[in-house]
Structure formats: structure tokens, C-alpha cells
Structure 1
Amino acid sequence: MGCNFSSQSKLQVPEIRASRSITPASQKSEDPYSHIRLLLLGSAESGKTTVLEQVRLLYKQHFTESEYFHRRAFIYHNIFKSIKALCRAMRMSDIQFADPINMGRAQSIIADEHGHYGLFSKDLAEKIKHIWNDKSMQKLYARRSQFNLNDSASYFLNNIDKINMVDYKPSERDLIMAYVPTCGVQNVIFTACNQSFQLFDIGGQKIDRRKWALQYEGIDAIFFCIAISEYDQVMSEDMVTNRLDDALNLLQSISEDPAFATTPIYLFLNEIDVFCEKLSVIPLSKYKPDFKGGDQDDAIDFMENLACEALGKRDRSLYRVYRCIAIDTQMMAELLSTVFKDIAKRKK
């Protein structure tokens, strides 16, 4: 039995009007109608910002030129960070480059301490392409579940010629695939189901979580993202704490917070595709001994049960659980439509 997560239906997303205005949590809205206020939470790299980007694209919240510039910079950074991670993984593996010249190229990539947030030089772009296209590197990439690599690595590396152009402007797909860490508080205002929504996204790293409480007042619903594929990974902040455990503890603290006692929580179990891919290489039972085995669906059921346990004694009517792939726009269109309808129904 395989993972049941693909969305096949052709969806018609209605035209939605959007606003560029921002309403801080500490101020009352000056709009003639009140917003349904949504708080988007989760650990760093859980996919929550991808959810926000999907909302912006699906509900016609257009990007400004400065936002395109910002995301373009991070796309270059994503590419360099990915190839550097692959070079380091190659060095630690039992695989040798098919082309020996790529060994020297990889060493220069590893030694390069620049962040690379702009157009690559011709020499650097050629190095990246040679390393990525090496047959042995592709063998290593097939093992990517064994080390931490951005999910969009192959997407951007395969498109480096298009991206490394002076006039490059990210496509909608590029915007979804790019990893851009959240800084501070972002929010969008949009209309769905004849209701006005305001969705807040706050950084998920530990240093950012102190800002969460500043947005608690007047929240009508919470979106919480967990990247279930991270069951074998540790947090970059301390290189010790298991990422999944951190996410579950975070979910529990939100569920138990008196401020959210009656606030509905919409839980997104993200990266189920990566999770299923990992299972055959990295057994879930190695990190979660309570998992007694089974197929991929059993493993996802187990992860959902862990999340439900973290929600504690919260009434079942106050939470919904969704399995998703946040970068899949078709899937997210259907999921978000369902969620917004449910929220709008609660507000009537």
C-alpha cells in the first residue's frame, strides 16, 4: 500500500480580491468589515511560510517588485547552499566523483564562505553545473534522505541556466519552491468564502517564538505546520534536539495555552512525500520505538496519532488534521478551500 496524498481533481479557484494593507495585532482594523484573524505557527522549516506563499498565489495577493528581488536573492542562496551540502555529503560518503576534476571543484565550493545572494560568476555557475551533472553526484542525490538537503535542490539546480540570467524574474513555481526564512511578522489580507481573512506568519526558530504571544489577541483560528519527514533530524540551533519532538512539544504548548482554549487548530502534517521516501532508508522505529512497523500509510497514521496526543484533551471539534505537501499547489488549493469554508462556517 502506498501513500495516499496526491490531488487529481481539476480545481477552479475563484477570483479573490486582495489587500496590501497590514493590521498589527495591537490595533483595531480600520476596514469597514472585520477580518477573521489566523495565526500560522510551526517550527523553522516546517513549511508554514510555503503555506503563506500558496495563499498569496491562490488568492491573488500579488508580490511587489521588492519582494521579487528579495526572493530572487534567496533562490541563488538556496542553490549554493544545496550544492555545498551535496559536496560535503560526497566527501563523507563512499562515492567518488565520476569526473576526478569535480573533486577540486567540490573542494573550492566547500571552502567558499560567501552566502551568494546574487548572480553567480560564469566560473562558479560552471562549477555548480559540472558537479551537479556528475553521474556519481546523481547516485549520491538518490540517497538524499540520508542527509539534510533542501527539498527544492534538484528543481533549482536543474534550472540554473534560466536562473543565472541578469533579467531572471522568479516564476510562481519558483516562489513556492524557494526556502525563504521568515523574519519578524508577515501577514496578508485576502477574501475567501465572502469573508475577509488576515493570516499572520511568524518565524519558527526558537529566538522568534517570544514574538508569538504578541499576536495572540483576537485570533480566530490557528494553522500549525509539522514537517513529519524530520523525524530523524536535529535542530540547527543546538544540533541536539530532535526536530519532530520540538514540533510536537510546541504544538502541545499551544494547545494547552489558556489563550487558545476555544480556538480551533488546523494541523498540517507536511512533507508526506519526503516522509514516505525516507522510510525505506531510515526506519521510523529507530527514532520512534513505539512504531511497530507496517506500510507507509501505517507510518503516517502513527505520526498523526502522535500529533493528536500532543493536542491532549482538546475537544475533537476544535481541531482538524490534514496530510499535505505544501509545495503542491493543486493539493493546497483544495485543502485551503476546505479549511476556509470550515472557518467561515464557524464564524456564522
Structure 2
Amino acid sequence: MGKNNSKRKNLKKQAKKNKRIEKQLSQQNQQQDQEVKILLLGTGDSGKSTIVKQIQILYKGGFTENDLLNYKNVIRSNIKFYIKTLIKSCSQLGLKISEKNAEIAEDFVRTVKKSSVEITEQVRESILALWKDPILKEAYERRYEYQLPDASKYFLDRANEICKEDYMPIPLDILNCRIATVGVKEIQFEVSEHIWRIVDVGGQRSERRKWIHQFDDVSILIFVVATSEYNQSLYEDERINRMQESLKVFKKTVNNEFFKKKDLVILLNKIDLFKEKIKKYPLTKCFPEYKGDGSFEQTSEYVKMKYMSTTKKKGRTITPHYTCATNTDLTKNVIETVMNNIIETNINKYF
């Protein structure tokens, strides 16, 4: 009799324990079903980090005071680097700075340190005078012959404001400010009863070996392409065309064993810069085989086709979007379209 009572008690304890375990598993499964991991990939300077900044603005309340101070220092450091790069490029391009600014330029290169965040009145006047020089403007227009970020003009046009002692970055300054992603950065936010986890991995060659460690539990892959870089070379190797490198990396990544069952989103970024550039520089700089009329419509479609055609798996969903990551409204529309598509196509299939 005593043994039977003991057995019944043990069975009740085990039943309660099983019920607790089932409840925990159910809660874990529910939480997992609500979480979406998005891997954000692309080669260096494609605009991935700008998209992450947009998410910070749109869904995380913007930037802290400490963030603003850090960006202020980076922007002030960069603006001096841009002027130095322009000055040095003139000799490379066979351009001669006007006589009245030649001495200012020589003194600027010799004495101004990029690492210093301080901008004296003399440095401010030198930056403003040199940026007005038509020879440096011509050097900027030929920036595709050397390495100078497109955003340099945006900041140099704002140099007077940036050099003021009480300057603090506005959101558009932060969106245009480039800081190379090193390692893995993650941002998490909640929308439509789902937790969205965006993982941004550095796109420089030295960083790509880290991508494989982020492949587990990925819901969807977003690959960012800088469309305007079709006539530019890599920072790491100036013999290699940036878009050709991007295509090579895209093909290798999306056909990886880990992604065979994953749908893809291609963000054809910097389309505003592409639209302006294609008027001056033919797409044949990257694709000698291109035979179209050179219009924005045909060239942008051709670039899209080059990426869309690289996947080997038939029936796979690849969704392209033209975008400009520094445009908050446009980026918001693209992000929300991507999120809605994931939800509508039964999110559980991705896990």
C-alpha cells in the first residue's frame, strides 16, 4: 500500500515537472517564432552601416549625446583628411593649384593632423579657401581616379558650420559619415509583435572571414550593393573593380550551403549617385559587354539583372529594391516592405 502511494506521488511530481518543461518549451518556441534574424552583408562602403543608422533613427529613438560627440570628432577629423586627399591628388592628376592657395595647401598638408579633433580659426579659413579653389573642385570631380568618398562634398560644403565650436551633428551628417564596420554589430528592435535582429558584418576583405560565424538561424539575407561604384576600384586593391568584387562576393555568399533555402533581398543602394554618374561615365567601365543605350533606366536594369542571375537555385525568391540609404523616408519604405513580406510569407518557414 505504501509503495503504491509513493509511486502515485512520484508520478504526480513527474507529471508536474513535464508540464513545467512543456510550458517552458512552448514559451521558448513562441519567442523564437517572434524573433527574426536578418544578416546584412555587402562589400566595403556599400552602405550597410548607413541602413543600421537609419534603423537607429526610425525604431530606436535616434542617437545619444555620447554618439553625437563621437560622430562630431570623426566628422571633424574626416574633413581635414578630405582636403589633404584633394591636395595630394592634384599632382597625381596633373593639376596645379592656383598660386594664391598653393602656399596655404602646402602648409595645410605639413601641419594639420587628421587625428586632432581641434579646428583652429586658421585651419577653418584654410579649409574654406581651399574648397573654393576651382582646381580642388576639378580634383573632386575626378575622384574616381583615386580614393575619395562621395560624401566628402557634402561635408566640405558644410565646412563653415562643422568648424564652429558649438557644432553638433544633425541626423543627415551622421548618415553621411562613414566609419568602416569592424567585427560584428547588432541592432535589435520590436515591430509588429516581432523582435527584429539586424546583424551587420564588416564588408572589407579582412572582415569577410567572420561572415560564416553569423550564418546560423538566419531568417533572411539582405545584400547591399553600391550601384554608383561601377567605375571605382577597391581601397584594398586598386587593380580590382568594386562592383566586380561585389558580384563575386554576392555569388559566393548566396550560393553557400547555409543559404540554399533562404530567400534574398538585394538593396541596390546609392541609386541617386548612380543616376548622376551614368550621365558622364559609361557602364562599360565595369561591364565591357554592355550594349544598351546608356540611359539610367537601361543601365540600372542591367546592374540588377547581373545580380539576379547569379543564384543557382531555381524557384528561389530574390527581391530587389532600388534605394538611397541616406534618404530616411525611402529607407523606411524599403525596410517596412521587407518586414511585411517576411511576415506575410509565413515567418515560421525561415527557422
Q: TM-score w.r.t. structure 2 length?
A: 0.83
CA contact (8 A) 2:243 2:286 kept: no
Alignment map for 1:193-232 (pairs within 5 Å): 193-232=192-231
* Structure with higher RCO (Cα < 8 A, 6+ apart): 1
SS at match of 2:189: strand
Aligned position for 1:38: 38
Q: For this pair of structures, how many residues does the alignment match?
A: 319
Matched, 1:59 2:22: no
CA contact (8 A) 1:235 1:242 kept: yes
SS at match of 1:114: coil
Partner deviation per Cα, 1:1-59 (whole Å, 9 max, x = no partner): xxxxxxxxxxxxxxxxxxxxxxxxxxx99979842111111111011111111111111
Aligned position for 1:88: 88
Aligned position for 2:162: 163
In percent, how many aligned pairs have the same letter? 27
Aligned position for 1:284: 283
Task: Report the CA distance shift for 1:44/1:117 in structure 2 as closer, same or farther (over 3 A).
Answer: farther
Aligned position for 2:264: 265
Equivalent-residue separation in structure 1 for 2:136 and 2:233 (angstroms): 25
Equivalent-residue separation in structure 1 for 2:121 and 2:29 (angstroms): 50
Partner deviation per Cα, 1:296-324 (whole Å, 9 max, x = no partner): 2111111111111223335342x211111
Displacement of 1:131 = 0.3
Displacement of 1:144 = 4.4
Task: Report the CA distance shift for 1:109/1:305 in structure 2 as closer, same or farther (over 3 A).
Answer: farther
Equivalent-residue separation in structure 2 for 1:340 and 1:326 (angstroms): 17
Task: Report the CA distance shift for 1:324/1:314 in structure 2 as closer, same or farther (over 3 A).
Answer: farther
CA contact (8 A) 2:260 2:313 kept: no
Aligned position for 2:13: none
Structure 2 letter corresponding to 1:88 = K
Structure 2 letter corresponding to 1:254 = T
Partner deviation per Cα, 1:96-131 (whole Å, 9 max, x = no partner): 445x22122223344468333513222222111100
Displacement of 1:89 = 3.1
CA contact (8 A) 2:144 2:231 kept: no
Q: What is the root-mean-square deviation of aligned Cα atoms in Å?
A: 2.5
CA contact (8 A) 2:241 2:286 kept: no
CA contact (8 A) 1:222 1:264 kept: yes
- The structure whose Rg is larger is 2
Displacement of 1:250 = 0.9
Displacement of 1:279 = 2.3
Unpaired runs of 5+ residues, structure 1, are: 1-27
Displacement of 1:182 = 0.9
Equivalent-residue separation in structure 1 for 2:315 and 2:111 (angstroms): 52
Judging by fraction of residues, say which structure has more helix: 2
Structure 1 letter corresponding to 2:51 = V
Task: Report the CA distance shift for 1:102/1:190 in structure 2 as closer, same or farther (over 3 A).
Answer: same
SS at match of 1:115: coil
Partner deviation per Cα, 1:212-254 (whole Å, 9 max, x = no partner): 1111111101111111211222212122222111111111111
Structure 2 letter corresponding to 1:166 = E
Matched, 1:309 2:321: no
SS at match of 2:309: helix
